[in-house]
Amino acid sequence: MGAARFLRGLALRVDPRRLKVIVNTGDDEEFYGLHVSPDIDTVTYTLAGLANPDTGWGLSGESFNTLHALERFYGKGWFALGDRDLATHLYRTDRLRQGWPLSRITADIALRLKVRAQILPMSDDRVRTFVKIRGREPMPFQEYFVRNRARGQVEKIELRGAGRARPLPQALQAIRSSRAVILAPSNPFVSIGPILAMKGMRSALASIKDRVAAISPLVGGKPIKGPADKMMRGLGHEVSPAGWAKLYRDCVGTMVIDQVDRSYLEPIRTLGFKAVATDTIMTSPARAAELADVVLGALEV
């Protein structure tokens, strides 16, 4: 998850207490009766310093004894949940059943894991991202991404419930009062897309556009990880930093692309953006922090 890597670097440059992270919940899924919020957890575990750096999900040093025992009842699973990770899902599910909104639970979990940044789900309402692959019925994101390993030609992304979901008021407020907003190098359709689909989100960003930067998830026409290129192609977009930039014309002022893609600086500027090229490959927290420096610099923060 590029967002997590970037956050790890950003937190080295910005006082975490001033950091507010708006997180996609369209990938949330129920497993074994538990509400799992993969993106929230990855962000939380990353900022808590507990994330597994090798996998991009879950906790470091995990065991999988419960998951193994669950196979007796559910058959072989396709979504790995570690024993310690399960505690998070148990707690979240328990609190949801008690009527707590997801945002309150998320803040509570972050606090207990000693995360100082604010982690804000995009909404307390349920939004579910479905991916439509050629020849298949639309399937929930995790099924597409994990179970089917993002195979197949993407024809459509559906954000079910996005139209009637209320955006988290604190998220909109955070944008309006922020000195800078950074769209992490994440998938524009299934990671950033659901957040921007929240009512008022795009216009909130548009109103402070000169303080908004986005980091390209593409390097040389490919994402570091994940199906962003396949989705762009499938959905009829040009698979390039320029094609990517066009997705954000209304709500982003500054585009940060990888140095190998510097030939796209001019086309992106022609679209009306400020644009900078730099090394966006975050092989270490220090490199991620350097990327954060460039982005903050471009925003003149």
Interacting residues with a second copy (CB under 8 A): 32-34, 63, 65-70, 72-74, 83-88, 90-91, 93-94, 97, 109, 112-113
Give me the least distance between CB of 124 and a second copy, in Å please. 19
Smaller CB separation from a second copy, 114 or 269: 114
Smaller CB separation from a second copy, 84 or 233: 84
Residue 115 — φ and ψ, nearest 5°?
A: -85, 130
Q: Taking Cα atoms as reference points, which of 28, 34, 27 lies closest to residue 70?
A: 34
Q: Count the alpha carbons within 13 Å of 153 in the hemisphere toward its beta carbon.
A: 7
Distances (CA, A) of 264 to 11, 86, 234: 29, 44, 21
Smaller CB separation from a second copy, 74 or 78: 74
Smaller CB separation from a second copy, 31 or 144: 31
Smaller CB separation from a second copy, 52 or 93: 93
Give me the least distance between CB of 102 and a second copy, in Å please. 15
Give me the least distance between CB of 54 and a second copy, in Å please. 19
Give me the least distance between CB of 24 and a second copy, in Å please. 23
Smaller CB separation from a second copy, 107 or 301: 107
Secondary structure element (H or E) that encloses residue 269, with its range = helix 265-270
Q: Is 176 left (phi over 0), alpha (psi -120 to 50) or beta?
A: alpha
Give me the least distance between CB of 113 and a second copy, in Å please. 7
In whole angstroms, what is the distance from residue 199 CA to residue 211 CA? 20
In whole angstroms, what is the distance from residue 202 CA to residue 100 CA? 27
Tell me the angle at which helices 38-48 and 2-13 cross, rounded to the nearest 10 degrees: 30
Give me the least distance between CB of 76 and a second copy, in Å please. 13
Q: Please name every residue paired with 274 in a beta bridge, in sequence order, or none if there are none.
A: 254
